[in-house]
Amino acid sequence: MRGLVVRWLVSAIALYLTSLIVRGIEIQSVAALVFAAVTIGVLNAVVVPLILLLTACRQILTLASSRWW
């Protein structure tokens, strides 16, 4: 749980710094910043394991085929 909060904080800081550097990105309020950081955190928590699961077969096949060469 602590690691998740740290990741959300890092995401929020990165979003804030990005809004300072990139012209097209504007943060209207702290609540919007926190919402965006939580959204990114949840997407990372769901998408990354899903991608790892979907690519597991490819990784196993690549490992198996490289052994035969």
Distances (CA, A) of 15 to 22, 26, 50: 10, 10, 24
CA distance 10 to 56: 28
Contact 40, 13 (CB under 8 A): no
pLDDT at 67: 58
Q: What is the pLDDT of residues 15-45, one digit of tens each?
A: 999 999 999 988 999 999 989 988 988 888 8
Confidence grade of residue 62 (pLDDT, cut at 50, 70, 90)? confident
pTM: 0.65
